[in-house]
Structure 1
């Protein structure tokens, strides 16, 4: 059994009523997105706990085998071969354990949002569509899908009606917008409750998107 994922957490001043688990991108850490919490300006009454896990360190092929925090190896930048399925499955299992830990503390699954940026979004989409308990929502930022052809045989119906929100930069030169659109279309065609929105930005988040994420989280958890 792999070691549990370490994480940065930000807790509300009052008793926790909901949890957001937010997965970072390649080479980043849980510290990377933690500063977004105050920028979301969420009402204190929602009492949301944020968990920002650190991905395991591993060699990344496209970066010359350099070890860095990565949810999976990237062996090629090709559209359909970018994500290493074995690594995706391993990381999805580790993130699932984080969700189960929140549930064990008394948080219902339908009060937990799974969010991810870039590589983290790949894990969020992979796990969210296969997880056996209904989540409050799935947030997929500047990301894509690993092996979309496997969705039909591996998906679980628990999150078929769960809102899935995509956000992507029109000028993204790391994960081209077409990869995000393909993931969105795959889920839409499979009957998922997916929504798509683009922003005039590169491979990052912008204030307009942060404001939209805030409104989306509030709609899911109010």
Structure 2
């Protein structure tokens, strides 16, 4: 785990930042300088080998299963550490890019409850097909943002929309923003929107 922002014992809010494939906890922590996180404790888990799971997020479930379960366990560890510090679940946010965005959504949906919010920069729920049996709980109007290109090479817009529909069915308030460019990136427009909606 890497840490930034306020110490957990001094903060009332926390955010878990989850990096993408080939990146690091340190690299995703740099995103925090573009966000209004002055009153947050910031935690960034580090994936083993810089990858949360070996294959694409829509590949065969068996191929990703072992690594995915381990990665979800690491996010659970970060989440539990925050709760033990006395920060309530509805003051905890999850945010990730690419693989990290997928993992953010997957962890949230498998443990649906009232959260501070979930931000997925280019991601969707994980699986060859969406398995409703993997998900349980009630988001109780948790705000969720998913932003991406409408023709991203790694994350099809169809899966993003399917994910949004499933999350809405679990009580989340989901905003999807799809952009016309083909870039696999985090856009300034997304950062601005997230700052205005989550970090006023």
TM-score, normalization by structure 1: 0.77
Corresponding residue of 1:163:
143
Alpha carbons 1:167, 1:198 under 8 Å: kept: yes
Q: Is 2:99 aligned against 1:119?
A: yes
Corresponding residue of 1:53:
45
RMSD: 2.6
After superposing on structure 2, the runs of 4+ consecutive aligned residues of structure 1 that deviate more than 6 Å are none
Q: 1:25-104 to 2 correspondence within 5 Å?
A: 25-40=20-35, 42=36, 44=38, 47-57=39-49, 69-74=50-55, 79=58, 81=60, 84-104=64-84
Gaps of 5+ in 2: none
For 2:69 and 2:113, how far apart are their aligned partners in 1? 18
For 1:218 and 1:110, how far apart are their aligned partners in 2? 14
Deviation string 1:36-91 (CA, Å, 9 cap, x unpaired) is: 22222x274xx11221221112xxxxxxxxxxx111110xx595538713322221
Q: Which has the larger radius of gyration?
A: 1
Corresponding residue of 1:214:
195
Count residues with an aligned counterpart. Answer: 196
Alpha carbons 1:31, 1:52 under 8 Å: kept: yes
Gaps of 5+ in 1: 1-5, 58-68
Alpha carbons 1:130, 1:154 under 8 Å: kept: yes
TM-score, normalization by structure 2: 0.84
